[in-house]
Amino acid sequence: MTETEARQVLLVQAFEAGAETPLWTDADRQWATRHALQSAAAAAPAERFVVERAGHALQRLLPRDPAARRWLERRRWRPLWVALSALLAFLFGAGVDHVGATQRIDLLAPPVWALLAWNLAVYLALLMPHRATGLRRWLVRRWAGGDAGYEVRWTRASAPLSLARAALVLHVAAAALALGLVAGMYLRGLVLDYRAGWQSTFVDAPVVQAVLDTLLAPASALTGIPVPEVAPLRVAAGAAATGAAAPWIHLLAATLVLVVVLPRVVLALAAAGRARSLRASFPLALDEPYFERLRLQQAGRHALVQVLPYGAAMQAQAVLGLRALLATAFGDEVQLRVAPPLAYGDEPAPEALATPAGCTLRVALFDLAATPEAEPHGRFLAVLAGPLPRLAVADEAAFKHRFGALPERLAERRAAWQRLAQAQGVGLVCADLDVPELEAAARALKSALGA
């Protein structure tokens, strides 16, 4: 799946995650599925079927929604940005008006050392685990400013690609900045007489010599220029530097090339290769219930949902209500496999947690009237963790029968269950399964499933 195809898929998914609207109806969904089944064989990879279906869906959706069409046509990345960042960084580096005060290279404090220190700090950060977490969060906040679902979905899904492109720009700019600084030193050295010197209140010449010998050793080995003696270059207060600056400029320039330019070029090439790979093979996760439903439609099968009641057995009306709710996301042919209820506080037996063959989703069913607790309820949700998606459903029927006249109590209890579900990383739907309000419950279900 390419980057363009992934954008199309996520755009269609965003519209299908909400309720039916004039822009996109259930009839449109069925039409797109039929045409995708005709254009993509049943044996085709699920990814190809999803892409084909999105292409057909957009034939109807884009003429109706100009905003979606503009978003799809908008270019988020232009290779010209790399060249522009390199040019600006080079000019900035070359435009630094001096490498030392009064045409003097201060051996202890030229801009070169600051640039080297910054790049070494960047390399160290790149070696640290989870280094991209903060930047990824920033990118999501930066690009997910709109209220359109497809904008947020694309921002989250494209974070790896966006990070690779951002890294490409930053590495190229860093290399160009160093090259600009080198060019600036040599260009000004042609028309100005730079002198080298140093001064310090606390550091003596032997220490300065040892530090510079160490820092400039790679450049000295590369250029064959020995590090000059620094003792004669010490400048008294108010005096002018007298040492020749040419060898120091050569050594500083070689150090910049070794420490900044070459590593940054390698990192830029790696980032460009990763961006190119992600663009051609976009890593869109297809394990969400939305894509699972499409896969079942492609195979001509129906969704099978395993229901595991906790604390109380399911009544027949609740089973019908839950099936009607799940049908809004998985189709009218969804099948429920209800397991025997697990008593409060009991440990589930392994056979009770066995997943039926062909299962699409596992649902943990709770009674909203029960106070959610991290130990029994949270532990039960944790036990259900596995390769299959999980969903928590809290039946409001008993609670509404007791506290129907106190809506604030209902809101408080819903919030308590929501906190428990979030702590376990599970989507939650609160609904009265005896008489479910399908429209509102369906929205909550799709949000919980990430559909």
Query: Coil, strand, or helix at residue 306?
Result: strand
Give the tokens for residue 400.
């509404």
pLDDT band, very low/low/confident/very high, at 146 (cuts 50, 70, 90): very low
Residue 436: what residue type? P
Pairing status of strand 243-244 against strand 195-197? antiparallel
- The ranges of the chain annotated as CATH 3.40.50 are 302-449
pLDDT exceeding 90 applies to what percent of the chain?
47
Q: What values do phi and psi take at 96, rounded to 5?
A: -60, 120
207: Cα separation from own chain's centroid: 47
Give pLDDT, residue 143.
52
pLDDT of residue 299 exceeding 80, the answer is no
Which CATH architecture is the domain 302-449 placed in?
3-Layer(aba) Sandwich (3.40)
Contacts 24+ apart (CB under 8 A), 65-71: 65/23, 67/148, 68/11, 68/15, 68/148, 68/150, 71/11, 71/148, 71/150, 71/151
Rounded CA-CA distance 443/427 in Å is: 12
Which residue did the predictor score with more confidence, 313 or 56? 56
Q: What values do phi and psi take at 243, rounded to 5?
A: -75, 150
Torsion of CA 188, 191, 197, 200, to 10 degrees: -50
Mean pLDDT taken over the chain: 86
Give pLDDT, residue 17.
75
pTM of this prediction?
A: 0.74
pLDDT band, very low/low/confident/very high, at 200 (cuts 50, 70, 90): confident
Element (H, E) at 365: strand 361-367
Give pLDDT, residue 31.
92
Give pLDDT, residue 220.
95
Which residue did the predictor score with more confidence, 133 or 73? 73
